[in-house]
């Protein structure tokens, strides 16, 4: 790839990394601390990410244990989890909060798989939009005679290769997540 496509490749890479973060928050039936990444707790007068107010451990494949550094936050943590889109009811024993992940039904797995594909489409569109922005910028340069017709053609070829590479990368990540969902 040429140096001209470097900023666009960075943006595409960031899109793929954002997809990873989104996919990590999807609950797939096995305990994964990342499902709590978007949960914020009202603590000390501010909304604080859950992972910043205690330890999160995975004692077995279907359970997360949250041990806050300040036990007075247990009720707030419990409320935050109940208000989240997790769909899991926390149990509070006065020391820790346990989240038990139920087995996913076949129907729920299929729905999650559809959600993953939909999310993936959004990221593929974002990557194509980055390509379009690059193409538009270079067409303007060519119109202003800042680059030659050949340089524009080369840039367009490089951008298409880059787009194909990152769309394929997104597909690979989606396939892996769908397999994970369906194999539980």
- Which of 42-56, 64-78, 106-120, 156-170 has the highest mean predicted lDDT (pLDDT)? 156-170
In this prediction, residues 166-175 reach a mean pLDDT of 93
Tell me what the mean pLDDT of segment 160-176 comes to.
94
- Retrieve residue 143's tokens: 């119109």
Indicate the average pLDDT of the chain: 88
CATH class of 3-24+105-182: mainly alpha
33-100 CATH pick, 3.30.1360.40, 3.90.550.10, 3.40.1280.10, 1.20.1050.10 = 3.30.1360.40
Residue (of 72, 63, 29, 35) closest to 51 by Cα position: 35
Residue ranges per structural domain of the chain: 3-24+105-182, 33-100
Q: With 0-12 CB in 10 A as exposed, 13-18 as middle and 19+ as buried, what is 149?
A: exposed
**What is the structure's pLDDT at 29?**
63
Pairing status of strand 63-68 against strand 54-60 = antiparallel
pLDDT digits (tens, 9 = 90+) for 1-46: 567 889 999 999 999 899 888 887 776 666 778 888 888 888 888 8
């Amino acid at each position: 790839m040429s140096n001209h496509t470097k900023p666009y490749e960075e943006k595409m890479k960031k899109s793929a990394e954002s997809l990873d973060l989104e996919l990590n928050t999807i609950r797939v039936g096995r305990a994964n601390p990342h499902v709590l990444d978007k949960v914020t707790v009202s603590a000390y007068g501010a909304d604080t990410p859950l992972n910043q107010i205690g330890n999160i451990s995975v004692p077995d494949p279907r359970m997360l244990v949250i041990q806050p550094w300040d036990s007075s936050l247990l009720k707030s943590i419990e409320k935050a989890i109940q208000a989240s889109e997790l769909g899991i009811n926390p149990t509070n024993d006065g020391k820790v909060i346990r989240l038990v992940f139920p087995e996913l039904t076949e129907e729920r797995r299929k729905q999650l798989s559809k959600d993953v594909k939909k999310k993936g489409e959004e990221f593929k569109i974002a990557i194509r939009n980055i390509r379009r922005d690059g193409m538009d910028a270079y067409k303007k340069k060519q119109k202003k005679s800042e680059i030659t017709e050949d340089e524009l053609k080369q840039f367009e070829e490089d951008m298409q290769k880059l787009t194909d590479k990152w769309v394929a990368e997104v597909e690979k990540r989606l396939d892996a997540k769908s397999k994970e969902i369906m194999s539980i």
